[in-house]
Amino acid sequence: MTGHAFPHTAAPQPVFDPYRFPGAVIDDHSQTTHTPHGTPEPGDFFLPAPDACRRVPMPLEPEDRRRLDLHAALTMAGIAPLPGDLDAIDALCTLDDSIHTALRRWIARTV
Protein backbone atom coordinates (compact mmCIF):
# COMPACT_ATOMS: atom_id res chain seq x y z
CA MET A 1 0.00 0.00 0.00
CA THR A 2 2.89 2.34 -0.52
CA GLY A 3 2.24 5.45 -2.53
CA HIS A 4 -1.51 5.56 -1.82
CA ALA A 5 -2.85 8.42 0.20
CA PHE A 6 -6.25 8.10 1.78
CA PRO A 7 -8.22 11.26 2.34
CA HIS A 8 -8.61 12.05 6.02
CA THR A 9 -12.24 12.25 7.05
CA ALA A 10 -13.55 12.97 10.50
CA ALA A 11 -14.99 10.00 12.33
CA PRO A 12 -18.75 10.20 12.78
CA GLN A 13 -19.72 11.59 16.16
CA PRO A 14 -22.07 9.49 18.30
CA VAL A 15 -25.57 10.85 18.73
CA PHE A 16 -26.91 10.56 22.26
CA ASP A 17 -30.55 10.62 23.19
CA PRO A 18 -30.78 13.27 25.95
CA TYR A 19 -33.64 11.37 27.59
CA ARG A 20 -31.64 8.11 27.86
CA PHE A 21 -28.29 9.79 28.62
CA PRO A 22 -29.09 13.01 30.53
CA GLY A 23 -25.42 13.80 31.24
CA ALA A 24 -24.18 13.32 27.68
CA VAL A 25 -22.62 16.31 25.99
CA ILE A 26 -24.48 17.08 22.81
CA ASP A 27 -22.69 19.09 20.15
CA ASP A 28 -25.56 21.26 19.02
CA HIS A 29 -24.33 24.09 16.80
CA SER A 30 -27.60 25.95 17.18
CA GLN A 31 -26.89 26.57 20.88
CA THR A 32 -23.24 27.63 20.55
CA THR A 33 -22.43 31.19 19.59
CA HIS A 34 -19.26 31.60 17.55
CA THR A 35 -17.26 34.64 16.61
CA PRO A 36 -16.64 35.30 12.90
CA HIS A 37 -13.32 33.42 13.19
CA GLY A 38 -15.04 30.22 14.37
CA THR A 39 -13.86 30.28 17.99
CA PRO A 40 -16.37 30.05 20.84
CA GLU A 41 -17.17 33.19 22.75
CA PRO A 42 -15.67 33.49 26.26
CA GLY A 43 -18.94 32.50 27.98
CA ASP A 44 -19.21 29.16 26.15
CA PHE A 45 -16.69 27.17 28.20
CA PHE A 46 -17.49 24.54 30.81
CA LEU A 47 -16.83 25.23 34.48
CA PRO A 48 -13.74 23.60 35.99
CA ALA A 49 -14.13 20.57 38.25
CA PRO A 50 -14.49 21.41 41.93
CA ASP A 51 -11.35 21.28 44.03
CA ALA A 52 -11.59 18.34 46.45
CA CYS A 53 -9.33 20.10 48.96
CA ARG A 54 -11.80 22.97 49.33
CA ARG A 55 -14.83 20.81 50.15
CA VAL A 56 -16.57 21.31 53.44
CA PRO A 57 -16.15 18.14 55.52
CA MET A 58 -19.51 16.55 56.29
CA PRO A 59 -18.96 13.48 58.42
CA LEU A 60 -21.77 10.96 58.34
CA GLU A 61 -23.51 9.84 61.47
CA PRO A 62 -22.89 6.14 62.22
CA GLU A 63 -26.53 5.25 61.47
CA ASP A 64 -26.35 6.98 58.06
CA ARG A 65 -23.08 5.22 57.21
CA ARG A 66 -24.61 1.85 58.18
CA ARG A 67 -27.70 2.62 56.08
CA LEU A 68 -25.54 3.37 53.02
CA ASP A 69 -23.47 0.22 53.62
CA LEU A 70 -26.61 -1.90 53.98
CA HIS A 71 -28.16 -0.51 50.81
CA ALA A 72 -24.87 -1.14 48.96
CA ALA A 73 -24.74 -4.73 50.23
CA LEU A 74 -28.35 -5.36 49.21
CA THR A 75 -27.71 -3.84 45.78
CA MET A 76 -24.61 -5.98 45.24
CA ALA A 77 -26.63 -9.06 46.20
CA GLY A 78 -29.37 -8.09 43.74
CA ILE A 79 -31.97 -7.60 46.46
CA ALA A 80 -34.27 -4.65 45.94
CA PRO A 81 -35.83 -3.49 49.21
CA LEU A 82 -39.58 -3.08 49.07
CA PRO A 83 -41.17 0.11 50.42
CA GLY A 84 -42.18 -1.64 53.65
CA ASP A 85 -38.59 -2.80 54.18
CA LEU A 86 -37.29 0.72 54.76
CA ASP A 87 -38.58 0.70 58.36
CA ALA A 88 -36.69 -2.56 58.98
CA ILE A 89 -33.54 -1.08 57.41
CA ASP A 90 -33.85 1.97 59.68
CA ALA A 91 -34.20 -0.30 62.73
CA LEU A 92 -31.19 -2.42 61.69
CA CYS A 93 -29.05 0.67 61.23
CA THR A 94 -29.48 1.62 64.90
CA LEU A 95 -27.63 -1.55 65.96
CA ASP A 96 -23.89 -1.41 66.63
CA ASP A 97 -21.14 -1.98 64.06
CA SER A 98 -20.38 -5.60 65.01
CA ILE A 99 -23.99 -6.69 64.36
CA HIS A 100 -24.07 -4.66 61.19
CA THR A 101 -20.83 -6.28 59.96
CA ALA A 102 -22.33 -9.74 60.52
CA LEU A 103 -25.50 -8.70 58.70
CA ARG A 104 -23.55 -7.52 55.65
CA ARG A 105 -21.47 -10.72 55.71
CA TRP A 106 -24.66 -12.83 55.71
CA ILE A 107 -26.06 -10.85 52.78
CA ALA A 108 -22.81 -11.26 50.84
CA ARG A 109 -22.87 -15.05 51.32
CA THR A 110 -26.31 -15.33 49.70
CA VAL A 111 -24.87 -14.19 46.37
Given a contact cutoff of 8 angstroms between Cβ atoms, the answer to whether 40 and 34 are in contact is yes
Q: How far apart are CA 93 and CA 69, in angstroms?
A: 9
For the full predicted model, state whether its pTM sits above 0.75. no
Q: How far apart are CA 97 and CA 77, in angstroms?
A: 20
Q: How far apart are CA 44 and CA 34, in angstroms?
A: 9
- Per-residue pLDDT, 12: 59
Given a contact cutoff of 8 angstroms between Cβ atoms, the answer to whether 77 and 111 are in contact is yes
- Per-residue pLDDT, 36: 54
**Parts of the chain with a pLDDT under 50:** 30, 32, 34
